[in-house]
Structure 1
Amino acid sequence: MGHDLKDLESTDMGVWLDHIHPEERNKIWKTFEKYLETGENFRLEYRFRKHNENYIHIEENVICLKDENGSVNRVLGIIKDITERKLTQERLEDSEEKYRSFIQNFDGIAFQLDENFFPEFMHGKVEEITGYSEEKFLSGQFLWIDIIHSADKPLVIEDINNIQKSPYNSSRELDFRIIHSNGRTKWVHQCYYKIQGKDGKPEKYQGVIYDITEKKNTEEALEKIEAIRNKEIHHRIKNNLQVISSLLDLQAEKFNDRECIKNSEVLTAFRESQDRVMSIALIHEELHEGEGRDTLNFSPYLEKLVENLFQTYRLGDKEISLIMNLEEDIFFDMDTAVPLGMIVNELVSNSLKYAFPDRKTGEIRINLFREGKAGNSSGTDEKDGEKELTEKCTGYTLIISDNGIGIPEKIDFENPDTLGLQLVTILVEQLDSEIELKRNKGTRFKIRFNVKQD
């Protein structure tokens, strides 16, 4: 305490009281007087000034000794320095206060689960987010899994199984829906991790849950707005392309009135240009009539495109049959759909115009299917003489064939003279794809290309 024992023994009560902290001095003296009157033993805690003017916390246990009349004539006391204990207690209380303040203002749920995923504690806005109190979850009256939306429950169970199998300190995040006690659906974001139990005890799981309903509703509203905007854009583009097609048709009619060019290449060029424009317009029409997505369900579009071509190129009394084998649910974005649609337009038009000059019957086939990984070098690196895909892609194959007379051998497909085949070559390069031509028993074009996965 910083004082010599003899100094304290020779001092009166006033000197002792003078060493007690001023904020506690009167209270301690009144307590002391009270117990001297009753003769009861008592205990005091107060701050005492050391010789170096610093204060320490002490605990004083006092025993009152009485004379034969029952009056206190002497006291015995034991004084203990409890400064370290007091400081530890104050730090603990301060920490608890900070934690209590944090939980009260925490905009979510903090939780700890045992090895069986039963809650050991849940603090925060439990009732505000779920409609149920902490006590109901901790007592087992309500289980967290029971308030999860039925459609999301398999996803949550799978996530639990994954983290149980994972090493310690692994963390996982998941968005899912819960059903509030009032019946309303809420979106929550759960972030939790696995911690190792101490001294051989089972593992535990700690984490937080946030209400993200407002965020999800905002995202859905923005998606709807974006979908409406995209539909309007596609509608306007389609209308503009139809205007261009109509202008080409009017110009062709003007030339058609002149006897000298009725059967010339001019009218053919106008018709082919119209077909190319309409192949693009049809894409925007399909996107406009769809669900506002940025991708096109390509097989239904292909059916409409080829049907329009068959109506455009009616070949007198010829019966040209069409056989289409198109895989369903193949979606392409504009960067793939537009060039691929124009390729189909050119190749099918060529078959209709040139494949069956001296025949009344014929057959055109179109196949489209996934094949896993296309055999082109798109997105590849050279390594040890082998090509390896550097990005995840899905490979597709498009085959357009007819059983007509076939493309003449004199036509060099690598360097074609006709605008249509030149356009096909350019579009194939644009898709970074491969094209293969076979001329036996008709004409067969096989195009293989990759599409990056989202």
Structure 2
Amino acid sequence: MHNQINQKKNVDLFWDHTNIQSFLNSPNTTVWYWDIESDAVLITKGVEELCGYKREDFIHNPTIWKNNIVHPEDREIIVQNEKIHLNGKHTIYEYRIVQPNGSIRWVRDHGIPITDKNGNTVRVYGVLADITELKSTQQELLEKQEQIEAIIDSVDIIVWSYDYETNKTIYSASSKKIYGIDPKAFDENPGLWRQVVHPDDLKYVVNKHQELLAGHIISLEYRIIRPNDGKIRWINDRGIPKFNTRGEVIGINGVKVDITKNKMADQKIRFMALHDTLTGLPNRNLLYDYLQNLLTNTEEMTNRKLAVAFIDLDRFKLVNDSLGHHYGDLLLNHAAFRLKQHISQEDMIARQGGDEFILILENKEKHEIDSILNQILHSFATPFHLEKEEVYISPSIGVSFYPKDGTDADTLIKNADSAMYYAKSVGKNNYKYFEASHPEHAISSIKLDKHLRNAFKNNEFELFYQPYVDSHTGQIKGIEALIRWMNPKYGNVSPATFIPIAEETGLIVQLGEWVLRRACKEIKQWHEEGYPKVVLAVNVSIRQFNDDRFTTIVQSILEESRLEPHFLELEITETIMQNTAESMQIISKLKELGVKIAIDDFGTGYSSLSVLKDVSLDKLKIDRSFVVQIGSEKASIISTIIQLGKNLDLQVVAEGVETNAQHEFLREANCDFIQGYKVSKPAPLHVLKNLYKKS
């Protein structure tokens, strides 16, 4: 009894004079602590919930775990691992526990001993994981054993403890794996940790360490350089000071986690979010941020020169349509490489989208800009060698100047775009500076806008459909509606031409409603005629999505067409998700109607993974720019996206599939559906009816 009172006092001292209560009381933290000298055992709230016993039960009876909770047949495992802990070695072992109600749970226990300078174990930390579900599906566990082991091995943690009086730091054995240094070396050389920290981060780390010694809990991230191989690792370091009864700091307990993989993944995701996946150039998002940041610093811009050059590749569409997207992508890569050769480090080149590029030229006189643009034109005079093909293209370039032609990013880019169209109108393969007196582009847009408005009443629009199929069975599962415009004067006008005008003028809302109404009606008729019960996919623009009447219109069209809501899938872009709060509300209303939601062209914009997790989505559609990388060293990206979709319980559709090799890769990667010329080109519904039999 006297021994129990002493144990409780020791526990209370530890409990009251450390700042780890918030950590220990977390229901998600399943950690146990065994102090060898006092034989005291502490458990976190998570362990209480796992085993069904209270923390007080362990205080009164330190042997309760081994003698009462552990399954009688597994108690020898505990005894064996205690001996291993006392020898200073960490263990990972599995056994059964019995809850008070008789329920049996399987746990995996990771014990980490902490040794003193003599190599004697003074305490042991442990982390429990409930693996009952894994054990109940043993066959599945065996099949995925390699994957599970890889995940376990990827969690690299060092438990460390610093004693203020002796100036000694004790590290767990795992420091050998992370630091490449035997933990005893830290004990022999207390200042060794400073030598390992990256020089650029050392001051920051030392300052944080001083906060620890002052009694503050800290959490920081920094780099280390491993002495044995010179490799840089990222460390997340958390420290909690220990106090004596007078409130003085007497030491520190801490945990270091190797977060290098997370950092690399974050950097990769950030790079993908801000760079074009095809050319590796900065994308539209990074370009606008960069340009806007320059322009908002008005004091710095007072004496600076800045020009925006908008570049469009002449004849690119002809090459892309005649030779195929593969050659089109090769051409874009080669063109991007040539453009980069003619700009300095202080300038920026970005891919605006499609075959459009933008240069930001700083501190250049007009004659210097003339020289750069002429060099670019001259470099394009040489043919592009694309595997077995040789093609010629040229650039048309428009230039605007700050502040003469605009003081914000949108205006400067718009006016450079206008000057580029003027350059095209006077012969292409040249450059023009923006002049307000050049009306050609504005007039052509106005004329096209007028024809676009008349197209509704003249019944010039029609719908084409492109199916997507199960990648494993080949069965048709869905059809995407695509608008086409045949104008009496201009002929077949590309959606890439008239959709941006419809967006700019607001006609896109009316156009989107027409597509949705017509498509729902036609697919309902397809169903009634006995063709496969496919899902109808319809693209939704930002303006259409944000229209106050959108959900009401969707409901009205569904009622009018009598199409069951679960057969309608609305495709939105990642850009829509940037306004998270409003977007989630609209999506929630649509889901209440029973409509499915898909993210279109995934990977070309920017999506927070947390947003994707929180929003109720049904599908990810992988942009074709990733599919064309199949067969290259970048193919792993598409596998990562597919796995991401699976982890979020989303179905995945790959767009732009053209070859058997692409199809085979996607099938092996467990992509659900494929869409593209490999399946079918977009066609009117009556043409597709010839491809599919009635059920």
TM > 0.5 fold call: no
TM tier relative to shorter chain? 0.3 to 0.5
TM-score after normalising by structure 2: 0.24
